[in-house]
Amino acid sequence: MKKIKSGILGVIVGDALGLPVQFKDRSWFYKHPVTELTGLGVFNKPKGSWSDDGSLTLALAASLSKGYDPKDIMDEFSNWLFYGKYTQDDQAYDIGQTTANAIMNYHRGIPYHKCGGKSYYDNGNGSLMRILPLVFYLRVHFGEDFTTKPYAMGIIHEVSSLTHAHELAKMACGIYLSIANELLQSQDIESAVKQGIQKALTFYISDIVFQKVKNQFHRLEDLEEFRVLDESRIGSSGFVKDTLEASIWCLLNTNTYEEAVLKAVNLGYDTDTTAAVCGGLAALAYDKIKLEWIQDIHELSIVNDICESFEHSLKKEEAV
């Protein structure tokens, strides 16, 4: 429970670090590397602002505080898109197309389980970037071995499918939460990442639904080889495969939360999401984020209140 706030703050701070320099190509960062939290930039937002990554992570945590109800999750996503809930200025922005399409589908009355994009071209990172809070819920309700339980893994896939329903996006979320789960149990980061990947891949290899995409993450099967890949072989686009691989690569090639998220930002392109996804894992791994960065988060009380409510609800459920 104690790492709920760390993990969610890890996403929020990573998002805020990458937001001002989003969309710049990698070569720009060779001359202008990001070293600190800043503001303004492409969306002209104050220092410490989070974007869709942070907002949808908070929306998921807030919904899970009431129990697991995918329809309620979509209601909260709608509250974000249409009313600016879970933002610092009551305005949703930097919205991925697949996410927007799914929420609009829901708004038009389409059932929540039919709203998400199912084509290969819908494999953006919009479900991966918000999935972290689910690991805490699954550990309470299904135990630390939830990756061996099809129903628990099915919940991960259902939460992804609300917006991103292709098997590749669902598998990326499953691998990510399996790694997060191992990081919550182990002090050895590389071992935890390796175990998380292996357990997830074991599940997906045996599931016929994922046969057509199971080889998409083949580079993660040999983690020692993957870790030493040159930066030029690590993508940082909005493609979900790129984001998952980049977040793991940055975590494995650094020694602190700060180093990990800055490395993610300086890969360029989809800087805020790569850093948010990496930041969630790095915060669980190190449980220590630079205090100055946390204090610089604009409207930090919004994050604190949701984290405290989520933690309180899970403690109550754990005690039952």
Distance CA 317, CA 141 (A): 8
pTM higher than 0.85? yes
How deeply is 141 buried, as exposed, middle or buried, from its count of CB atoms within 10 A (0-12, 13-18, 19+)?
middle
The DSSP letter of residue 252 is H
Q: Which amino acid is at 46?
A: P
Distance CA 299, CA 88 (A): 6
Query: What pLDDT score was predicted for residue 1?
Result: 66
How distant is the alpha carbon of residue 229 from its chain centre?
23
The CATH number of residue 253's host domain is 1.10.4080.10
Distance CA 110, CA 277 (A): 29
Query: What pLDDT score was predicted for residue 317?
Result: 86
pLDDT per residue as tens, the chain (320 positions): 679 999 999 999 999 999 999 999 999 999 999 999 999 999 999 999 999 999 999 999 999 999 999 999 999 999 999 999 999 999 999 999 999 999 999 999 999 999 999 999 999 999 999 999 999 999 999 999 999 999 999 999 999 999 999 999 999 999 999 999 999 998 899 999 999 999 999 999 999 999 999 899 999 999 999 999 999 999 999 999 999 999 999 999 999 999 999 999 999 999 999 999 999 999 999 999 999 999 999 999 999 999 999 999 999 888 76
Query: What pLDDT score was predicted for residue 99?
Result: 99
Domain that holds residue 140: 4-319
Written as one string, the DSSP assignment of 194-241 is HHHHHHHHHHHHT-GGGTTTGGGGGGGGSHHHHHT--GGG---SSBHH
How many domains, in total, are found in the chain?
Answer: 1
Q: Is 299 left (phi over 0), alpha (psi -120 to 50) or beta?
A: left
Q: Count the helix, strand and coil residues of the chain and give each as a percent rounded to the nearest 5.
A: 65, 0, 30
Q: Which of 84, 77, 180 is nearest to 138 (CA)?
A: 180
